[in-house]
Amino acid sequence: MRILIVEDEPRIAADVKRGLEHAGYVADVVGDGEAAWFQAEVETYDAMVLDLGLPRLDGLSVLRRLRAAEIVLPVLILTARDGWRERVEGIDAGADDYLQKPFRMEELLARLRAILRRSAGHASPVLRAGAVELDTRTRAVSVAGRPMNLTALEYRLLAFLLHRQGQVVAPGDLLDHLYDTGSDREANALEALLTRLRRKLGAPVIETRRGHGYLVPKDGLDVGDADA
């Protein structure tokens, strides 16, 4: 999962980036509204953390532009303490949730998990496919109840495909969601990563659709869907 952080306060931006990376996401940071709009238009993200008080173009305007352009990216807004007016405006402008400053990283992560799974149509924080189970709260992955040790990149790949369960994901799409702007993205590296992940899981959950991409099929065991 790849997140765009829009925050002009360098210390907060760095803390949030570190927190997200620690939690298994990749994150890019921009410090003003114009850059946020540009980045959201040209790059692919799974969610945006958007401060409202920004230079050049304020956060509400960024949000209104996104929604006017029918960019459905889930957005978590960061608002000032006692800023009830901007929270109301933000939600009306299409924000999926808000967080009041100052906040705990744990709360930001919980709200982000919730908007990500809602946008993917999952009600449960635990994603399942066949014998594979992934808990988005703890990042614990198990196969038939046996805990698995995955690298950060392997986890990100599996989590992304599980969020998109039942959809074929093109390799280019997958690369966009796995790496931040700075990294070079190699299709070969993706193949190697998939091979390692499949070997570790030892369960045939990730299918290759030749010429189209990768798929974790729906198998009726997705508790999230059953609850929805």
Torsion sign across C-alpha atoms 135, 27, 154, 1: positive
Residue 53 binds Ca ion (CB under 5 A): yes
Inter-residue contact 27 to 16 (CB < 8 Å): yes
Shorter beta-carbon distance to Ca ion: residue 78 or 134: 78
Cβ nearer to Ca ion, comparing 49 with 114: 49
Distance of CA 72 to the CA centre of its chain: 13
Q: Which stretch binds Ca ion (CB under 5 A): 2-10, 20-28, 41-49, 185-193?
A: 2-10
The reply on whether position 51 binds Ca ion by CB under 5 A is yes
By CB under 5 A, residue 8 contacts Ca ion: yes
Q: Which is nearer to Ca ion, 36 or 215 (CB)?
A: 36
Q: How many angstroms separate the CA atoms of 112 and 115, rounded?
A: 5
Judged by CB under 5 A, the stretch of 53-61, 115-123, 149-157, 177-185 that binds Ca ion is 53-61
What is the distance between the alpha carbons of residues 177 and 156, in angstroms, rounded to a whole number? 9
Toward Ca ion, which CB reaches closer, 8 or 180? 8
Least CB distance from residue 181 to Ca ion, whole Å? 21
Distances in Å between the Cα of 122 and the Cα atoms of 126, 163, 164, 170, 228 are: 9, 8, 10, 21, 7
Q: Which stretch binds Ca ion (CB under 5 A): 6-14, 105-113, 157-165, 169-177?
A: 6-14
